[in-house]
Amino acid sequence: MVDVHAPLLLLPGTLADGRVFAPVLDRLGMSAPWIRMEGATSARAMAERILAKAPKRFSLLGFSLGAIMALEVVAQAPERVERLALLGCNARDLPADKAAARRATLPVAERLGQSSYIDAVWEASVPAHRRDDANLRAELHRMARDTPMDAFRDQIEMAIDRVDSRPRFARLTMPVLVACGAEDGVCPPELSQEIADAIPGATLAIVARAGHYLTLDRPDETAQLLRTWLAAQPHDIRLSKEFS
């Protein structure tokens, strides 16, 4: 059991839900509420929705799109976030060509189902040793199918709308964990590296044999990282370039 100073709030990624965190929470011996990314078409508006649902003060763990929204939450109300964890995060804004490509996935999903998006990004999402893992693909498909199409549309738009969060990083003072898989092709390790380099005292972990779904690929290692993060005081934070 982990001693959490403030309630932990979870923000999952595109076409994901609380199941993406389940293996890690099981290892930590704890539960935590999660908020689906829906009901807004801008990062700012989504952050406002999160803050309206969140406790007065809380620890915040975001994965992928959830990590991007976590950065906006911290920008709006840094005094309410006791500690911040960013898994598989890209803090940059989205170029116009990539925005167009994101919107192009919507007609395909409407025709073939949301799981078609999982298939389109499969090779970039998983480490080499899991490319043929039918169980993992099936789990991601289940989360995608259980995500309403309207929520997927919202997720695409808020991902496109996001701003470049990097100029804000120097002002962050809470304990921050930045982690990703060494084989993450969706948000490559250099994106986590630049986040950790810019946040004073941040902890960086690049986890071997893991892809974008760090919590599913290496739950034991991810749980260990989160256990340390949840227990850390600001003076405990150190920079670690690799975690294997």
Residue 132 makes CB contacts below 8 A (sequence gap 6+) with none
Has residue 156 got a pLDDT over 60? yes
Given a cut of 50, whether residue 235 has pLDDT beyond it is no
Alpha helices in the chain, H assignment, sequence order: 22-28, 43-53, 65-76, 96-112, 115-120, 122-125, 134-145, 149-161, 189-198, 214-217, 219-231
Angle at 210 between CA 142 and CA 224, to 5 degrees: 95
pLDDT value at residue 56: 96
The predicted-structure confidence for 179-202, as pLDDT tens digits, reads as follows 999 999 999 999 999 999 999 999
DSSP state of 132: T
Q: How far apart are CA 100 and CA 118, in angstroms?
A: 18
Instruction: State the average pLDDT for the chain.
Output: 93
What pLDDT is recorded for position 238?
40
Q: What pLDDT, on the 0 to 100 scale, is given for residue 239?
A: 36
Residue 236 is predicted with a pLDDT of 44
What pLDDT sits at residue 232? 80
Question: What Rg do the C-alpha atoms of the chain give, in angstroms?
Answer: 16
- The rounded distance, in Å, linking the Cα atoms of 151 and 2 is 32
What residue ranges define each of the domains in the chain, with the CATH number in brackets? 1-244 (3.40.50.1820)
What spatial distance separates the first Cα and last Cα of the chain, rounded to whole Å?
Answer: 23
Alpha carbon distance 182, 209 (integer Å): 6
User: What pLDDT digit, counting tens, does each position of 1-17 carry?
Assistant: 555 578 999 999 999 99
Binned at pLDDT 50, 70 and 90, residue 228 comes out as very high
Q: According to the model, what pLDDT value does residue 74 have? A: 97
CB 63 within 8 A of CB 84: no
Read off the amino acid at residue 33: P
| Closest C-alpha among 239, 187, 234 to residue 84 | 234
Question: Is it the case that residue 234 has pLDDT exceeding 90?
Answer: no
As a whole number, mean pLDDT of residues 217-228 equals 98
Instruction: Please give the Cα distance from 132 to 116 (Å, whole number).
Output: 17
Tens of pLDDT, residues 115-155: 999 999 999 999 999 999 999 999 999 999 999 999 999 99
DSSP 170-188: GG--S-EEEEEETT-SSS-
Max CA separation in the chain (angstroms): 52
Going from the C-alpha of 148 to that of each of 44, 114, 142, 213, the distances in angstroms are 21, 9, 12, 21
Give the per-residue pLDDT at 5.
Answer: 74
